[in-house]
């Protein structure tokens, strides 16, 4: 079993930055693919970014390309999401997810992720 705990959310003005962290405990994390998803009020949970276990492959949703960066530190069992140039439409609960399949590939489908955190709220004011 893997436990994921997100942190770093908060209230920020449009144009500002936040850095989200997700710390994993339990099973070996450094061979898991990891991703960030987000869910705005009244909407479905959608893909934001993903990174494979070697950090040599990343993918992003078009809505965040050029503004968000996903990274990880396997020694710290932590994955990060650096969010710059934030917009009000980025307001959502952000969830960390992990895929235990030891793959070089990364996935944008939430059904590919077996473990989820509880989420951290990000609010961007205009």
d(CA 89, CA 124): 8
- pLDDT attached to residue 102: 82
Question: What tens digit of pLDDT does each residue of 47-90 get?
Answer: 999 999 998 999 999 999 999 999 999 999 999 999 999 999 99
Would you place residue 104 in the very low, low, confident or very high pLDDT band (cuts 50, 70, 90)? confident
Beta bridge partners of 10: 122
Composition of the chain by helix, strand, coil, percent to 5? 5, 50, 40
Strands 68-73 and 33-39: unpaired
Question: What tens digit of pLDDT does each residue of 11-57 get?
Answer: 999 999 999 999 999 877 888 999 999 999 999 999 999 999 998 99
**Which residues contact residue 20 at a Cβ distance below 8 angstroms, ignoring those fewer than 6 apart?**
6, 7, 8, 9, 36, 80, 81, 83, 94, 96, 120, 122
Tokens 């968000």 map to which residue?
A: 68
Tokens 């503004």 map to which residue?
A: 67
């Amino acid at each position: 079993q893997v436990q994921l705990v997100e942190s770093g959310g908060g209230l920020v003005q449009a144009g500002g930055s936040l850095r989200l962290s997700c710390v994993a405990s339990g099973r070996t994390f450094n061979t898991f693919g990891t991703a960030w998803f987000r869910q705005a009020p009244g909407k479905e949970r959608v893909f934001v970014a993903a990174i494979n276990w070697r950090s040599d492959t990343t993918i992003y949703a078009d809505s965040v390309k050029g503004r968000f960066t996903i990274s990880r530190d396997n020694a710290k069992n932590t994955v990060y999401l650096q969010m710059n140039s934030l917009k009000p439409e980025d307001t959502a609960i952000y969830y960390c997810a992990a895929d235990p399949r030891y793959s070089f590939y990364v996935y944008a489908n939430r059904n590919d992720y077996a473990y989820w955190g509880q989420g951290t709220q990000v609010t961007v004011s205009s």
